[in-house]
Amino acid sequence: MSTVLVANRGEIACRIFRTCREAGIRTVAVYSDADENALHARVADAAVRLPGAASADTYLRGDLIVKAAAAAGADAVHPGYGFLSEHAGFARAVTDAGLTWIGPPPQAIEAMASKTRAKELMGIAPLTHVTEADLPVLVKASAGGGGRGMRVVRRLADLDAELTAARAEAASAFGDGEVFVEPYVENGRHVEVQILADTHGTVWALGTRDCSLQRRHQKVIEEAPAPGLGASLTRDLYEQAVRAARAVDYVGAGTVEFLVADGRAHFLEMNTRLQVEHPVTEAVFGLDLVALQLRVAEGHALENDPPRARGHAVEARLYAEDPARSWAPQTGRLHRLTVPDGIRLDTGYTDGDDIGVHYDPMLAKAVAHAPTRAEAVRRLAGALERAAVHGPVTNRDLLVRSLRHEEFTSARMDTGFYDRHLAALTEPAHDPLVPLAAALADASAHAGRFGGWRNLPSQPQVKRYATAGGEHEVRYHHTRAGLTAEGVRVVHADARLVVLESDGVRRRYEVARHGDRIHVGTATLTALPRFPDPTAQHAPGSLLAPMPGTVVRVAEGLTEGTSVQAGQPLLWLEAMKMEHKITAPATGTLTALRAVPGQQVAVGSLLAVVRAA
């Protein structure tokens, strides 16, 4: 092959392009209108527009992608992950067009793409009639992935509503609304096996990965190898994974996923594609899985045995989201994203890029590799803590705290980790010197030609800031000696660096300001006017859009004047390919309903008002 089109976007497209460039292969990107200036469209050798912004009109249009390959002179197509990566019809369309498909045969995708058929192939039957005795159960999209189209149901009365929601979300994300129901195993570990197979009958089992730390059934932190499994269980996982691959004559890279509970491995599904978390396997085995995908697609044989695993690797997914506010996705300008040397960063963004509303909110994956698990975990936590992430709210602090949590460091985590610990992990950090550092940096940046000192005594300067922990008022003075603050020695202050000494301890604060947002180390503050605008108020009980998105539906029968119960679902927003439920804040009466299905809303838009009883 000489030219590869990547039928995807963002981080995975950029990652595949990197390997292609190293192999001397030309690259072609496809991009939607929303991605016209996206990094993957900029770094490819050629790029073809897919008109529209919605996934259904662009990245899920296999016919347009095949035409784009022909127009750009590509002779091979790599699907990445998500979108059409597990769509047998797309794989056939690619090969029918005379192009090389960098993935498994269409019949293998077909056999495993539906999770219901995959379970039947492995001898597992889904639930067809749910009773109270079966609860809790998991509603799952047959063609799904990434937690979309998935719901945990704990009350039989909720089943129909959750089936409807799962079907709608699955249809939107994958173009297929089929769902099924299976028993939900509480607090198991999510463990998977990376496989790689060639066309000559060789199948590699490339170790295990633990992906138990998840939010909304979507992985957050992954590692290889999965710790503490034991030789017998690991051998069973390998054998089941290889058996699944051989059952469908698999070719290429794939992943077989399991839920491990009570010392046993329960088959979940087979993902017939490259996984998001593949870098941890690459780090441990010293391989480039994309390069091996290319070689296998060209007909080359694998060695009889894979290389030996060395050390431990941990990956954290950095999302533009607010974990403390129901994981609400965030949008806006990403001003800066850097991590310390020695950490692998896979990303589809560069400084100055905009994070939009149309696609997944993942900004990057940070990966650390070390001789032992403890060293890898410590290295990744330290690097994330020192990383510069300037822009919308992210889950960076949550990642650092998760990596340092005793359950994780002792490898006792399971899929219920965030259900148990989210409140503690998102408790606002409090460093009383952070607002002062922001104020002193701002004062230094705006000092006049002769500085801010005045010959006559004056009142202290006052600045106000908002943080996740509340509002803070800061007071400081301009003096002949420079900036001063009560109880703190100002060692140094300029627009980018403030050094303060308190109780004999000296601390450095790196400061960056973008508009009214100030980043001080890992903390983010918003500059407030000294006197609040009295007109910027909403009626009590107002429900404001927590994110930009689209109103996909309003609860049936809901009109102004309707009585509602606290926690009752009122409407649903779709943002970044996920549905977000908006509920009544209190029991009372719906006095206003502004949301209409299909309506595009901005952050802070008034959706409804509930007057508490």
Task: Say if residue 576's pLDDT is above 80.
Answer: no
Query: What is the rounded distance in angstroms from the CA atom of residue 212 to the CA atom of residue 226?
Result: 10
Average pLDDT, integer, range 78-98:
97
- Residue 222 sits at the vertex; the CA angle it makes with 217 and 227, to the nearest 5 degrees, is 115
Looking at CATH, the fold of the domain delimited by 311-404 is given as D-amino Acid Aminotransferase; Chain A, domain 1 (3.30.470)
291 pLDDT tier (thresholds 50, 70, 90): very high
Predicted pLDDT at 231? 96
Report the run of H or E that residue 367 belongs to, with start and end.
Answer: strand 362-370
Rounded Cα distance between 220 and 402, Å, is 10
Q: What are phi and psi of 13, to 5 degrees?
A: -65, -45
Q: Is domain 433-528 annotated with CATH 2.40.50?
A: no
pLDDT of 533: 53
Work out the average pLDDT over 173-202: 90
Q: How far apart are CA 365 and CA 309, in angstroms?
A: 21
Fold of 188-309: D-amino Acid Aminotransferase; Chain A, domain 1 (3.30.470)
Helix (H, G, I), strand (E, B) or coil at 492: strand
Q: Give the C-alpha separation, 19 to 291, whole Å.
A: 6
pLDDT value at residue 516:
93
Q: How far apart are CA 108 and CA 327, in angstroms?
A: 35
Q: List residues bridging with 210 in a β-sheet.
A: 191, 223
Strand spans (E) along 7-96: 26-32, 46-50, 76-78
Q: What is the mean pLDDT of residues 186-210?
A: 96
Per-residue pLDDT band for 532 (boundaries 50, 70, 90) equals low
| Sole residue written with tokens 């996206």 | 38
Quick: pLDDT tens for 138-170. 998 877 666 778 899 999 999 999 999 999 888
Q: How do strand 203-215 and strand 76-78 relate by DSSP bridges?
A: unpaired
Share of the chain above pLDDT 90, in %: 79
| Mean pLDDT within 124-133 | 84
411 has pLDDT over 60 = yes
| DSSP 3-state of 453 | coil
Burial class (CB in 10 A: 0-12, 13-18, 19+), 591: middle
Q: Which DSSP state fits 454? A: -
Could you tell me the residue ranges of all domains in the chain? 3-102, 118-183, 188-309, 311-404, 433-528, 542-612
Whether residue 290 has pLDDT greater than 80:
yes
CB 426 within 8 A of CB 324: yes
The DSSP code sequence of 334-351 is --EEE--TT-EEEES--T
The mean-pLDDT minimum among 199-208, 528-537, 550-559 falls in 528-537
Asked whether the predicted pLDDT for residue 115 surpasses 80, the reply is no
Counting every residue, how long is the chain? 613
pLDDT band at 277 (very low <50, low <70, confident <90, very high): very high
pLDDT in tens, 346-388: 999 999 999 998 999 999 999 999 999 999 999 999 999 999 9
Amino acid at residue number 445 = A
Mean pLDDT of 430-440: 95
pLDDT digits (tens, 9 = 90+) for 292-307: 999 999 999 999 999 9
Is 280 a residue whose pLDDT tops 90? yes
Chain Cα centroid distance, residue 112 = 24
What pLDDT score was predicted for residue 454?
54
Rounded to the nearest 10 degrees, the angle between the axes of helix 373-386 and helix 396-404 is 150
What positions carry a catalytic annotation?
273
Q: Give the pLDDT of residue 449.
A: 45
One-letter amino acid identity for 44? A
- Which residues on neighbouring strands pair with residue 222, listed in sequence order? 315
CA distance 435 to 299: 60
Asked if the domains 3-102 and 311-404 are classified in one and the same CATH topology, the answer is no
Q: What is the pLDDT of residue 458?
A: 61
Interval 525-533 mean pLDDT: 78
CB atoms < 10 A from the CB of 537, how many?
A: 9
Backbone torsion region of residue 19, taken as left when φ is above 0, otherwise alpha when ψ lies between -120 and 50, otherwise beta: alpha
Categorize the per-residue pLDDT at 172 as very low, low, confident or very high, splitting at 50, 70 and 90: confident
Q: Is the pLDDT of residue 177 over 90?
A: no
Which superfamily, per CATH, for 118-183? Answer: ATP-grasp fold, A domain (3.30.1490.20)
Asked if CATH classification 3.40.50.20 holds for the domain at 3-102, the reply, yes or no, is yes
Mean pLDDT throughout 412-424?
A: 96
What is the C-alpha separation between 65 and 611, in angstroms, rounded? 50
3-state secondary structure 80-128: CCCCCCCCHHHHHHHHHCCCEECCCCHHHHHHHHCHHHHHHHCCCCCEC
Work out the mean pLDDT of the chain and round it to a whole number.
Answer: 93
Three-class SS state of 246? helix
Q: Residue 367's Cα: distance from chain center in Å?
A: 14
Question: Which residues are CB-neighbours of 476 under 8 A, at least 6 positions away?
Answer: 436, 439, 440, 443, 460, 461, 483, 484, 485
Would you say residue 337 has pLDDT above 50?
Answer: yes
**Taking the CA atoms of the chain, what radius of gyration do you get in angstroms?**
26
Residue 51 has pLDDT above 70, yes or no: yes
**What fold, for 542-612?**
OB fold (Dihydrolipoamide Acetyltransferase, E2P) (2.40.50)
Bigger pLDDT: 102 or 578?
102
Burial profile 69-87: b = 16 or more Cβ within 10 angstroms, e = fewer: beebebbbbbbbbbbbbbb
CA separation for the pair 493, 179 (Å, rounded): 58
Fill in the DSSP letter of residue 544.
Answer: E
Phi, psi of 235 (to 5 degrees): -60, -40
Which residue from 85, 84, 66 is spatially nearest to 28, judged by alpha carbons?
Answer: 66
